[in-house]
Amino acid sequence: MDINQLKKQFKSIYGESKDEIRTYFAPGRVNLIGEHVDYNGGYVFPCALSLGTYILARQVQSDTISFTSENYDFRASISRSDWQIKHGNHWINYPLGVVDQFLKKGFSLGGLQLLFYGDLPNGAGLSSSASVEMGTAVLLNDIFSCQLDGVELARMSQKAENQFVGVNCGIMDQFASGMGKKDHAIYLDCSSLKYELVPIKLNGNKLVIANTNKPRKLADSKYNERRSECDKAVEFINKVKSINLLGELSLKDFNELSKVISDNTILRRARHVVSEIERTNEAVQALKSGNLIQFGQLMNASHDSLRDDYEVTGIELDTLVDEARKVEGTIGSRMTGAGFGGCTVNLVNELAIDRFISNVGENYKTKVNLEADFYVADIGDGEKRID
């Protein structure tokens, strides 16, 4: 659906008016490596996608914000007195959580008519929720002249998901959606938010995203559980060394301190985090030096750690990865996102892409009885006003 079609739909829902309709876009993201380390203060390496969430907005003289989505049936008009109240488990809590953050900062907001449309597959682990949050943040920032920078909008969007929606995510998804740049990935230190935009030069290879199409019912609850397990690992380590987050440890430090973690499950969770941070740092250097074979090997090792130590993959993701690695021309394959369904990201020679999609898709359906969807990923810019 293009912008003109969305504007026609907007007017059919909310009626004609002389008031301006503004259009905003915030992308989803794919994380190339560095999974489940952002909330542990580690390094991640995501990039923004060309797919994401479009939001059309019109300011109105009322105390009501109206929410409509082309992706969900639920619609609502929320009066000012209820702007800071969670509404069941509906999608509107994601933008409302951002409204709540602006109000907590003391900004004066007014009535709005909003139409959301996303071309990301919902529940695929490509951060459709973060794109909704960041799109809402940029439109509020623009319409009400709040003059906040992109990093602050990302912080507020993360808080919206943590405090209002109730998912204890790190900041990677929102940061990538806000600060992404076309044909670049973001090498982000999640503890300091210092970042570097790294050009993506794949030299005849492409990023292919494979969607399991498995509903991710466990993702949020298990996400919070893993975060709690990481906190327990910090408690163990604090018996001999004072730290706040696992990301403060080198792999050498961890290996020396790991004997104080008496719970084997907690040990494996922590081992994934610390080793994944080291893999991410090595992967960025490999990409900068043009060593795509090493980059792919580190992608593979990342998935194996997520499968064995962090236990967030499952048969669907593991099958997609296993089948991908069998295809000649696949350089690396790993799950991306929270896990328990969602997507894999694959580095594939462009001459092998058709064979990759055919072989992996056919074998995946045979083994798990689900149809996978495939996307050759275009790396796009971060959030923006379109007109």
DSSP 186-251: EEEETTT--EEEEE---SSEEEEEEE-----TTHHHHHHHHHHHHHHHHHHHTTTS--SSGGG--H
What does the pLDDT read at residue 126?
Answer: 86
Pair of tokens at residue 250: 């080198």
What does the pLDDT read at residue 219?
Answer: 54
CA–CA dist 132, 116 (Å, integer): 8
Is residue 373 among the annotated active site residues?
A: no
Pairing between strand 184-189 and 64-69? unpaired
CA–CA dist 259, 261 (Å, integer): 5
What does the pLDDT read at residue 220?
Answer: 66
In total, the chain counts a number of residues equal to 387
DSSP 8-state class, residue 377: P
pLDDT band, residue 49 (cuts 50/70/90): very high
Q: What is the pLDDT of residues 63-81, one digit of tens each?
A: 999 999 999 999 999 999 9
pLDDT band, residue 125 (cuts 50/70/90): confident
Residues 258-293 as b or e (16 or more Cβ within 10 Å = b): beebeeeebbbbbbbbbbbbbbbbbbbebbeeeebe
Element (H, E) at 344: strand 343-349
**Pair 383, 49: CB distance under 8 Å:** no
Q: What is the pLDDT of residues 12-27, one digit of tens each?
A: 999 999 899 999 999 9
What does the pLDDT read at residue 217?
Answer: 62
User: Rounded to the nearest 5 degrees, what angle is found at the Cα of 167, between the Cα atoms of 162 and 168?
Assistant: 65
> What type of residue sits at position 353?
I
pLDDT band, residue 387 (cuts 50/70/90): confident
Q: What is the pLDDT of residues 111-121, one digit of tens each?
A: 999 999 999 87
Query: Which percentage of the chain shows pLDDT scores above 70?
Result: 98
Domains and CATH numbers, the chain: 3-199+381-385 (3.30.230.10), 205-376 (3.30.70.890)
Burial (CB < 10 A; 0-12, 13-18, 19+), residue 382, is buried
What does the pLDDT read at residue 169?
Answer: 84
Q: In what order do the strands lie in the sheet with 373-376?
A: 330-336, 343-349, 205-211, 373-376
First-to-last CA distance in the chain? 16
Q: What is the pLDDT of residues 149-162, one digit of tens each?
A: 999 999 999 999 99
Name the pTM for this structure.
0.92
What average pLDDT does the segment 382-387 reach? 92
Q: What is the pLDDT of residues 190-231, one digit of tens each?
A: 999 999 999 999 999 999 999 999 876 655 678 889 999 999
What average pLDDT does the segment 363-385 reach? 95
What average pLDDT does the segment 337-355 reach? 95
**Pair 360, 320: CB distance under 8 Å:** yes
**Pair 133, 64: CB distance under 8 Å:** no
State the Rg of the chain over Cα. Answer: 21
What does the pLDDT read at residue 167?
Answer: 84
Q: Which of 82, 119, 142, 173 is catalytic?
A: 173
Pair of tokens at residue 42: 């580690």
Q: What is the pLDDT of residues 262-304, one digit of tens each?
A: 999 999 999 999 999 999 999 999 999 999 999 999 999 999 9
Tell whether the model's pLDDT for residue 101 goes beyond 80.
yes
